[in-house]
Amino acid sequence: MTISAMFLFGSHARGDEDIYSDTDLLLISQDDRPQHVQKGHLSTSIYPLEDLLKRARDGDLFVCHIAREAKAIYDPSDQLELLRQHFALRASYEREILLASDLGWFIIDFGYKSHLQSLLNRRIAWCVRTILIAKSAELKRPVFSAAELAAVAESSDVLKLIKNKETDRADPEAMAMLGKFLAAFGTRRFQRGAISYGTYVRRFSDTSNNVALSLIKAEASSQTFDY
């Protein structure tokens, strides 16, 4: 793999990391498709430049994160500045809010059956962060740290839900907080009444909800969900 640039982003780039924080790296390579590799607290995203530039022009929230906060570790051709020049916020992030809300409701309805609690807690944090980053981006003031996102929501629950990703324990109180959060900031469930596991899976497939589908795949591989 040929790497043309390497950026640090997230809490270590902001300087608000703690002992539980991931080290988030973005590598720009010639590979054909984006990849993500998680090893312990090292989170590495690998993207081709053309993909990132396309996402930048589309106002993608991941590239927003890079454009606003990343620090170059290795960048001989100044590709970080190129991404910043191409990035433009969209007026609406309704789709991102919808996808995160759908996954959040699924976790509320079926998360109690999972044994992959550490992954589930990380996905809860992802749902909360995605919705609030999207909301702040719609206001043209995107923020990313847990403390800033809690301030946007004016809720201490947000901080707890994001920090809960550091644990591998089930927390019924977190589920209650997530439901309250989705009611206040997310979208409603996509249909009335009880929603079956299979209906959620079809919904995720129809909407190309890749984060939700990756959770489904992980659960299927571990065979820990009682359907």
Number of domains into which the chain is organized: 2
Where the chain has pLDDT below 50, the residues are: none
Residues 212 and 114 occupy one common structural domain = yes
Pair 188, 110 in one domain:
yes
- Length of the chain (residues): 227
Residue 17 has a pLDDT of: 87
Cα-based distances in Å from 61 to 40, 172, 189, 221: 24, 30, 23, 29
What whole-number distance in Å separates Cα of residue 226 and Cα of residue 114? 8
Tokens of 27: 């590598």
CA angle 7, 10, 11 (to 5 degrees): 125
* pLDDT score recorded for residue 114: 84
List the CATH number of the domain containing 17.
3.30.460.10
Answer yes or no: do 170 and 68 share one domain: no
Q: Note down the domain range covering 71.
A: 3-86
Report residue 141 as tokens: 């003031």
- pLDDT tens digits, one per residue of 24-73: 999 999 877 888 888 888 999 999 999 999 999 999 999 999 999 999 99
Q: Domain check: are 114 and 154 in the same one?
A: yes
Q: Are 63 and 89 in contact (CB under 8 A)?
A: no
**Domain-ending residue, one of 86, 106, 125:** 86
